């Protein structure tokens, strides 16, 4: 549910097995309690969802729709007042997988939710190096940029995140969780 809320939303269907065969749920009430407990006690900040019960071939399904959130990033409850980027368990959806979000992705989600607006920004030497690199290569990642610019990966990450926030770059995530950036 966290990965759907942090991404473009999605559906969870209870009562369908891994082979996509409809098996139904034993108790809609039990599934509803599970969903409510999960969203109320194990996710922070809380997420919105819509619940629907469907009967197919005398078998009950529970369908949960989780819309994309405007209050990202959501994380597994850690009982901390503030999100700690190094320890928070934040997930995103990539195709049919839920993957841990990188620090870069967490920063971008937080910025897009309005927690840290981009107030002023200018193109400096590092940003020029990003665009120079992208003229020769289709994509860039934190490691390749750090090496090309001879800077730390932390500084490379912050530069690329700022360019995403400014709308100059897009961030993409591969199925294996690896991230890369392209010109927007």
Sequential DSSP letters for 42-108: SEES----EEEEEEETTEEEEEEEEPPPSSPPPEE----SS--TTT--BEEEETTEEEEPPHHHHHH
- Are both 82 and 10 inside the same structural domain? yes
CATH number where 175 lies? 1.10.10.10
Give residue 54's pLDDT: 94
Single residue among 94, 111, 128 that ends a domain in this structure: 111
CA pair distance 174, 166, nearest whole angstrom:
22
* Structural domain of 24: 2-111
Give residue 119's pLDDT: 65
- Are both 11 and 97 inside the same structural domain? yes
Give residue 113's pLDDT: 78
Single residue among 85, 111, 137 that ends a domain in this structure: 111
Phi first, then psi: what are they for 64, rounded to 5°?
Answer: -115, 125
Give residue 165's pLDDT: 83
Contact between 9 and 44 under an 8 Å Cβ cutoff? The reply is no
- Are both 61 and 6 inside the same structural domain? yes
* Residues comprising the chain, all counted: 184
User: Residue 162: enclosing H or E segment and its boundaries?
Assistant: helix 153-165
Phi-psi region of 63 (alpha: psi -120 to 50; beta: other; left: phi over 0): beta
DSSP state of 15: T
Single residue among 55, 85, 111 that ends a domain in this structure: 111
Number of domains in the chain: 2
- Are both 102 and 144 inside the same structural domain? no
**Digitized pLDDT (tens) for each residue of the chain, 184 residues in all:** 999 999 999 999 999 998 989 999 999 899 999 999 999 999 999 999 999 999 999 999 999 999 999 999 999 999 998 889 889 999 998 888 888 998 888 988 888 776 555 667 778 899 999 999 999 999 999 999 999 999 999 999 989 988 988 888 888 888 888 889 998 7
């Amino acid at each position: 549910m966290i990965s759907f809320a942090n991404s473009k939303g999605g559906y969870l269907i209870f009562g369908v097995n891994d082979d996509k065969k409809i098996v139904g749920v034993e108790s809609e009430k039990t599934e509803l309690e599970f969903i409510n407990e999960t969203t109320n006690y194990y996710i922070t900040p809380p997420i919105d969802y819509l619940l629907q019960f469907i009967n197919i071939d005398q078998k009950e399904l529970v369908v949960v729709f989780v819309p994309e959130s405007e209050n990202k990033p959501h994380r597994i409850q850690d009982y901390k007042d503030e999100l700690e980027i190094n320890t928070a368990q934040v997930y995103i959806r990539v195709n049919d997988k839920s993957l841990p979000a990188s620090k870069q992705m967490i920063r971008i989600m937080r910025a897009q939710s309005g927690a840290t607006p981009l107030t002023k920004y200018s193109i400096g030497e590092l940003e020029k190096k990003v665009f120079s690199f992208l003229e020769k290569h289709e994509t860039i990642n934190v490691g390749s940029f750090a090496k090309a610019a001879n800077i730390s990966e932390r500084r490379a990450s912050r530069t690329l995140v700022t360019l995403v926030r400014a709308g100059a770059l897009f961030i993409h995530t591969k199925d294996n969780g690896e991230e890369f950036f392209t010109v927007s």
